[in-house]
A and B are shown apart, each in its own frame.
Chain A
Amino acid sequence: MGLTNLIGLLGLIAVPVIIILYMLRPKNKPLKIPSLYLWKQMADEIESASKIKKLKSSILMFVQIFIVLLLTMIFAGLFIIGENNTENVLIVIDASYTMGAKDVDDSRMAYAKKLANDYVRNLDDNSEVTLLVLEEVPKTIIRDEKDKGFISNLINQIEVIDGICQVELVSETIDTLREADQEVVYFGDRYFNGISNIRTLQNTNNYSVHNISYTKYLREGTITALTKIYNHDKVAALIPVSFYVDNKFFAAKQVEIEPMSSGKLFFENIPYDTTLLSVQIDGEDNLRVDDIAFKMVQVEKRQKALLVTLGNNFLEKALSLHPNVELYTSDNPNDLYGYDIYIFDGIFPENFPVDGNYLVFNPDERELFNHIGYVENPVFTTNEHQVTNHIESTEFATRVTSVFEVQDQRNIIYNTSYGPSAFEMLIQDNKAIVYGFDIHDTDLPLSIEFPILMMNTVDYLLTNQMVGEEELYVGDSVSISILPSTIKGKITSPSGIVSQLDLNRREYIYSGINEVGIYTITQEQEYDTLNEEFAVNIPYISENQGEINERDLIKTPLSTKSLGLYIGVLVLILILIEWFIYSYRRKIHEYKL
């Protein structure tokens, strides 16, 4: 037996109030009568009756005190530990990064584990437990398990992650797993509708840093950075912040932030060649993991591109606009080497070079491209593809285009009713974009989409950028480009955990991002080793924090049975009894006499 809401015990104040009211009840009302002659003759009898009456009055007082005590128990959430209830329970334990906060017990997670273990211990031996852990993706640890010791061991093994599980995903997972008549009990610092929530937080004394952004000023040779500091507490705070450039202290500032709001901080005159920006909150709070944020500064590296053509001013002009591309031209397609991108415009080598990616226009009918025919005056449609980003119109006239057989629909860039006309593919494990038409046969260069299309195409083919995404959070997956000549690759987490890259595909999806900090991708080539870093931060979910702030009480497990309903019924019965006695006291006395 225990209480879930100690504040409810404030209701006990009503007990002395009732006693005082009884003590202060009005004095006897004076009533003048002709004579006390007869009354005095039965003074003794009245005195003894009065004593009984006082006792009855006291009983009413005790009934009222009892009612108050019961109501207090309801408000305080009195529960008993069920001894013999067999239940099918889905236990949900939140392992999100906020559970690492130390406002209660050793941490919210430690407290949640303790409560969950208590809960499991108090279940009936025949209860079946399904354990769901909320990591970036909800993970079912065990299903319909009866062995309490085993369940407790699994609970104890749960660790807080640096990420957070999205509310929608949690709700969907619970809805999927939940069986009829199954009780769902959540242990964590959030709140989910429709299930029992055992909250394991005491306060929200937390500050966090998110969203570092920067602007590079080439002319001044400086970088200006902007970061956002959040105060999740219910009181205003003066938060000290340190700013680091390439892991070296650069500046310190303080920012005063109102409760439940955020403030911006600017840092100026950062050296232009900086590669890493990081912000650290120096103030003490419950949760350290969100006190730091990182941002990689994009460093431009010029890539060498070779345009192999018999003459194409449109392409030459468009490609030379790309800031990271150093464009060369040639009319000899054979024996090429040393370029990052090879652009073949109507003329092709016997064998494609092995050290770069390819952009192909108007290919011949070799088997490599799975050419299936030609279409005159085609009408193009576009598929969702990185290359067609920001392109709204596909209306350009083409005299004729080749169409190809493409197995994977996701690789199609332009389609016609007879087959794909532009697509991505791999040639000797190198990325290639193929356009089936000759640009000279189209009015595409005259449209405003043409330079965008070419920029997107080159961006896609740039080989030295291993990671495309700029903003990465714990729990995200990252697509890593395996460079054409890579013979060995690995990814190293901030804590030093190394994962090998799968070199069988040129795009490797890495889903092991579970730490805040700087990850390093290393790709070893025959004569060189290339390293690239990317930053991973804590995701910011304002809705989540808001919910925590609304309900900042620690609740102990509801365990198996709350007594609220039973106590409520008892209170109603007592009130009815008291009302009946009070209303019919005269009749009751008459009946007794």
Chain B
Amino acid sequence: MGKIIDRQFVELLKTLTMHINLSLKGGNLGSKKSRAIGSSVEFSDYREYMPGDDFRRIDWNAYARFEKVFIKLFMQEQESLVTVFMDTSESMKEFNKRETAIKITGTFAYTALADYDTVSTVLFNQSITHFLHGLRGSKSFNRVISSLEDFEFMGQSNLYDSIYPWQTKLKKGISIIVSDLMFDHQIEKVIRLLAYNKQRIILCHVLSEEELNPVFDENIQLIDSESGDKMNIDTGITAINLYKNKLHEYINEIKAICSKYGVDYMLINTNDPIEGFIKHIQSIK
């Protein structure tokens, strides 16, 4: 166990029954029920036999009853490929954002691994800095924990340039982005890219309380943790109110894009307890 994802947190994950209700097509057989009619044991429907059908699936009992040849249709169970893109730039380092991002990534990874899904974790800043690909089984969770917790957050972010080369590794599945999006995010471009790669997208927008509701007195020099850029603020509450308005616009803009592409958007305050986030994931349909 790590310092952030400790035993207590894992116990919490275990007690929560998490099912991300996604319809997946393609991919390895896993525990996710695919809309594709397959050869699993779970019955789905009947239809009349057509030439070319696998005659092994003819329901002979039905033929005896109706004198027509019917074929049994079964739900095909497929495994999900869950990819978590986690922002490891400098801006994600402070104000509990790093811990929150690791817990979010850990939550998705644990849930996916527990459901026998394949998990990839991709850490990025300007580009991909570290990844674990194709993890299966609960035992892989420890690798995920250590890779997340040992990684140093630094540099600036570039989401699109980071995801773009990864698309060759994507299969139909779920992509989760964990970031504060405090950069020129090109979020629509990124979402389009992931959607093109048949990804169900969940966007976890991680912001600290200091970013959501900044409080400071007059005469402050703000210093960008990533670039070191400085900005003098002499206006106190006026500047804070301007910032809040701007942040509100920014979030609404992202929400609008997410809504357009069917992306699940979650705004996570790092000061809020992680249980709230987990319950929110449960509500995703």
Binding site for B on A (CB under 8 A): 25-43, 45-46, 49-50, 52-54, 57, 585-586, 589-590, 593
Contact = CB atoms under 8 A, between A and B. Distances in A.
B9 interface: no
A52 B218 CA distance: 13
A33 B218 contact: no
Given A28-B219, A50-B232, 20 more contacts: A26-B219, A27-B219, A28-B220, A31-B220, A32-B222, A32-B223, A34-B90, A34-B95, A36-B223, A38-B246, A38-B250, A46-B233, A50-B235, A53-B234, A53-B235, A585-B236, A586-B237, A589-B237, A590-B237, A590-B241
Nearest to A35: B182
Q: Which of A28, A31, A33 has the most CB of B within 10 A?
A: A33
B96 to A, nearest CB: 11
Contact of A32 (B94, B239, B242, B250): B94
A31 B225 contact: no
18 contacts: A28-B219, A31-B216, A33-B210, A33-B222, A34-B92, A34-B95, A34-B211, A35-B180, A35-B224, A36-B229, A39-B222, A42-B243, A46-B235, A50-B232, A50-B233, A57-B234, A589-B237, A589-B238
B225 A32 contact: yes
A38 B229 contact: no
B231 A42 contact: no
B43 interface: no
B12 interface: no
Contact of A31 (B90, B180, B183, B222): B222
B231 A39 contact: yes
9 interchain residue pairs of minimum CB distance? A35-B182, A34-B91, A28-B221, A36-B224, A53-B235, A589-B237, A35-B91, A37-B182, A49-B235
B226 interface: yes
A35 B7 CA distance: 32
Interface string B72-106: 00000000000000000011111101000000000
Given A36-B227, A37-B183, A29 B221 contact: yes
Given A38-B246, A42-B246, A30 B221 contact: yes
A29 B224 CA distance: 14
Contacts of B243: 38-39, 42
Contacts of B90: 34
A16 to B, nearest CB: 22
Contacts of B224: 33, 35-37
A37 B95 CA distance: 16
B220 A36 contact: no
Given A38-B182, A46-B239, A29 B226 contact: no
B192 to A, nearest CB: 22
Contacts, number: 117
A52 B250 CA distance: 26
B36 interface: no
B111 interface: no
B221 A42 contact: no
Nearest to A36: B224
A53 B236 contact: yes
A49 B211 contact: no
Interface in B183-238: 183-184, 208, 210-211, 214, 216-227, 229-238
A45 B249 CA distance: 15
Contacts of B237: 585-586, 589-590
B252 to A, nearest CB: 13
A52 B235 CA distance: 8
Contacts of A26: 219
Contact of B234 (A32, A40, A50, A585): A50
B16 interface: no
Contact of B221 (A31, A53, A585, A590): A31
A46 B246 CA distance: 12
A64 to B, nearest CB: 17
Interface of B: 90-95, 97, 180, 182-184, 208, 210-211, 214, 216-227, 229-239, 241-243, 246-247, 250
B234 A28 contact: yes
A41 B94 CA distance: 22
A32 B228 CA distance: 9
B91 to A, nearest CB: 4
A34 B221 contact: no
Nearest to B211: A34
A45 B245 CA distance: 12
A34 B242 contact: no
Contacts of B227: 36
Contacts of A39: 222, 231, 233, 243
Contacts of B241: 589-590, 593
Contacts of A31: 216, 220-223
B223 A30 contact: yes
Contacts of A41: 246
A41 B238 CA distance: 15
A33 B211 contact: yes
Given A26-B219, A38-B243, A33 B235 contact: no
Nearest to B241: A593
A49 B239 contact: yes
Contacts of B184: 37
Contacts of A46: 231, 233, 235, 238-239, 242
Contact of A35 (B221, B226, B230): B226
Contacts of B91: 34-35
Contacts of A34: 90-95, 97, 180, 182, 208, 210-211, 225-226
Contact of B231 (A40, A49, A52): A40
Contacts of A586: 236-237
A32 B242 CA distance: 19
A29 B219 contact: yes
A54 B220 CA distance: 14
B234 A54 contact: yes
A45 B233 CA distance: 11
Contacts of B220: 28-31
Contacts of B223: 30-33, 36
B216 A53 contact: no
Nearest to B226: A35
B116 to A, nearest CB: 37
Contacts of A53: 218, 234-236, 238
A339 B125 CA distance: 140
A49 B245 CA distance: 14
Contacts of B95: 34
A52 B91 CA distance: 31
Contacts of A593: 241
Contacts of A25: 219
A481 to B, nearest CB: 93
A459 B277 CA distance: 125
Nearest to B93: A34
A317 B241 CA distance: 118
Nearest to A28: B221
Contacts of B250: 38
Given A28-B219, A38-B247, A39-B243, A33 B238 contact: no
Contacts of B226: 34-35
A588 to B, nearest CB: 9
